[in-house]
Amino acid sequence: MSAPRRIHLIRHGETNWNKERRAQGQQESVLTEAGKAQALALPAILSALNIDEIYCSSSVRTRETAAIAFANHGLPIMYCDHLREIHMGPWEGRLYEDLRQDFPEQYDAFWNKPDTFVLKGAETFAQVQQRAMTRLNRILAESQSQNIAIVSHGLLIKTILSSVEQRPLAQVWQPPAMHNCALSTIEIHHDGNQRITLYANQPYPSIA
């Protein structure tokens, strides 16, 4: 039996807005020097994965991360708007501490009851998950590659992993935390079974 296909999900490196604790969403931020150093550590990890194909969110921070991580792969990077982070509407660009004070109910929902989060002009967590899974399934249907890398964002990656393990979106923020430049891997077997083998650089148990 041939080996399973693998999806390797990579979060972008630290950005200036991560450092400032500012809501990013789909607005643009750039990698800090620490973020670039995180991305520079990726090639040593990725070299053993035999990546055949690379997809990337069209956001600047993911493009910067992918350019560093795959500088020596010689593969084209395919950018996709559907792999961008949650659209946070009026929150984007604002400090989280200010949002906590100005939107106490929505802020609490975002972090503690994410399945109930509703904000005018923003996506819900369910909408992000649907967008992410639709794009992932399209990639899998159209590609014959064995090892596919996707460079994206913390929440979007967590919604994909939640779907694979059938974890309710109410629990999407539960550990493991999705730190900057974390790598997660999904194995896709020929019988259609999918399981997470690596979650934010941590070996992960099989999901029944």
Number of residues assigned to the chain: 208
Residue 132 CB burial class (10 angstroms; 0-12, 13-18, ≥19): buried
- Bond preceding residue 176 cis, omega within 30 of 0: yes
H-helix or E-strand containing 37? helix 33-40
Q: Is 84 known as a binding-site position? A: no
Q: Is 173 known as a binding-site position? A: no
Domain extent listing, the chain: 6-203
206 pLDDT exceeds 90?
Answer: no
CATH of region 6-203: 3.40.50.1240
64 classed as catalytic: no
- Give the tens place of pLDDT for each residue, 7-29: 999 999 999 999 999 999 999 99
Q: Is 63 known as a binding-site position? A: no
- Give the tens place of pLDDT for each residue, 140-185: 999 999 999 999 999 999 999 999 999 999 999 999 999 999 999 9
pTM, to two decimals = 0.95
85 classed as catalytic: yes
Query: Percent of the chain having pLDDT more than 70?
Result: 98
| Residue 167 falls in which region: left (phi positive, over 0), alpha (psi -120 to 50) or beta | beta
**Strand (E) positions, the chain?**
5-11, 53-57, 77-80, 147-152, 183-188, 194-199, 202-203
Residue 1 banded pLDDT, cuts 50, 70, 90: low
